[in-house]
């Protein structure tokens, strides 16, 4: 009976600890930093770390919005799996590594092994302004799937300057002819 009570308490703590805040944080306060570490540590009883950062478009392609909160929670989760705690130096390094940027990890499908090599992402803001990425890493040799199609894992980094943490933005991925090949609408107010 006691084990069941503990399991229920841990499950409730995970649910309560992972409830979305009012908007994405591009720079974490000390309280948000502690909360991200708590969420990451508690997430070891779940299969995945929070669905609030995950999106899937109609084509089955996926996007993970890697806010500072998510990156820190993921690092805390990985440390907890090894029965370790994040050191203050690791936390500081992680928070400073991509300061002033928001990262998007994208999994895209194509018909050739190098289909994603020349893809160019842009972030479209609510006022239709297009923001160019600060960093692009397209997978040059995509993974062949059982279906015969290919899966490319790409990483895109955009500056957060001028980006409201409550905004609804669209990540567009374009090919060489500037044709849209993937689209993800991201509601930053729904994540931390």
DSSP per-residue codes, the chain: -HHHHHHHHHHHHHHHHT---SS--SS--HHHHHHHHHHHHHGGGSSSS-GGGEEE-TTS-EEEEE-HHHHHHHHHHHHHHTT----HHHHHHHHHHTTTEEEEEEEEEESSTTTTTT-EEEEE-TTS-EE--SEEE--SSPEEPTTS-EEEEEEEEEE-TT--TT-EEEEEEE-TT--EEEEEEEEGGG--
- The answer to whether domain 2-190 has CATH 1.20.1050.90 is no
Q: What is the pLDDT of residue 178?
A: 94
Residue 118 and residue 136: Cα distance in Å, rounded? Answer: 10
Q: What is the pLDDT of residue 22?
A: 53
C-beta separation of 61 from 107 below 8 A:
yes
Closest C-alpha to 160, from 99, 101, 90, 118 = 101
Q: What is the pLDDT of residue 10?
A: 35
Backbone φ and ψ for 147, nearest 5 degrees, come out as -75, -10
Query: Using CA atoms in the order 57, 61, 67, 73, what is the torsion angle rounded to 10 degrees?
Result: 120
Residue 110: HSE in the Cβ half-sphere, 13 Å Cα cutoff = 26
Q: What is the pLDDT of residue 54?
A: 86
C-beta separation of 77 from 40 below 8 A:
yes
Instruction: Give pLDDT < 70 ranges for the chain.
Output: 1-23, 47-49
Structural domain spans, the chain: 2-190
C-beta separation of 136 from 122 below 8 A:
no
Residue 160 and residue 178: Cα distance in Å, rounded? Answer: 24
Q: What is the pLDDT of residue 120?
A: 97
Q: What is the pLDDT of residue 144?
A: 95
């Amino acid at each position: 009976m006691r084990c069941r009570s503990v399991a229920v308490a841990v499950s409730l703590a995970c649910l309560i600890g992972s409830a979305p805040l009012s908007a994405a944080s591009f720079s974490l306060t000390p309280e948000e930093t502690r909360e991200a570490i708590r969420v990451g540590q508690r997430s070891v009883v779940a299969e995945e770390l929070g669905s609030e950062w995950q999106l899937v478009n109609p084509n089955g392609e996926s996007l993970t919005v890697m806010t500072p909160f998510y990156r820190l929670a993921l690092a805390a989760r990985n440390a907890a799996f090894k029965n370790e705690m994040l050191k203050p130096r690791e936390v500081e390094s992680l928070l400073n590594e991509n300061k002033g940027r928001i990262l998007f990890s994208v999994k895209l499908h194509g018909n050739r092994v190098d289909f994603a090599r020349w893809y160019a992402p842009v972030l479209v803001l609510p006022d239709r302004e297009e923001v160019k990425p600060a960093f692009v890493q397209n997978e040059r040799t995509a993974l062949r799937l059982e279906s015969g199609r290919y899966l490319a894992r790409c990483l895109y980094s955009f500056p957060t300057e001028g980006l409201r943490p409550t905004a609804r933005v669209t990540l567009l991925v374009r090919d060489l002819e500037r044709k849209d090949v993937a689209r993800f609408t991201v509601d930053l107010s729904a994540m931390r």
